[in-house]
Amino acid sequence: MTDQSLDAFLSTAHETVATFPEPFREMAAEVAVVVKDWPAEWMLQDLDIGDARDLTGLYDGIPLTEKSTFDQPTQPDTVWLFREPILLEWRERGDVALRDLIAHVTVHEFAHHFGWSDDDIAEIDRWWE
């Protein structure tokens, strides 16, 4: 992947979601995907993260396992991908294709939408090793 633009990241994320098996693909359809260069300050503060380089993605919403028919959404659930931190990790790792890293972050954030915790995800995805 030579194109490192915001649009290329978004395209890769959408292609990744399109490969989800059913019923996950259908459950992911209502989630907005947004790519920005850096996370917003409020995101870092909410997560108690001091360095924006440490946040490659974020799920902002109510996980499906916690939703109720009584919930009145004020905004769509959103998966955020942060281009600059992803590019930094990709350069530092040097052992993974950029498309694969974008796909990994996308899947990780959608796993939160499906109700998985970071610990749940780590049990089956030891990406950092």
CB atoms within 10 A of CB 126: 8
Is 0.85 surpassed by the pTM of this model?
yes
CB of 98 closer than 8 Å to CB of 90: yes
| Alpha-carbon torsion (34, 31, 105, 97), positive or negative | negative
Side by side, which strands form the sheet with 32-36? 32-36, 78-82, 57-60
Position 65 scores a pLDDT of 84
The CATH number fitting domain 6-65+72-124, selected from 3.40.50.920, 1.10.10.10, 3.30.9.10, 3.30.2010.20: 3.30.2010.20
Position 67 scores a pLDDT of 78
Q: What is the mean pLDDT of each run of 10 residues along the chain (129 residues)?
A: 90 94 88 97 96 96 80 82 97 93 93 80 62
Angle between helical axes of 6-18 and 83-93 (0-180°, round to 10) = 80
Token pair for 3: 């194109």
Position 71 scores a pLDDT of 66
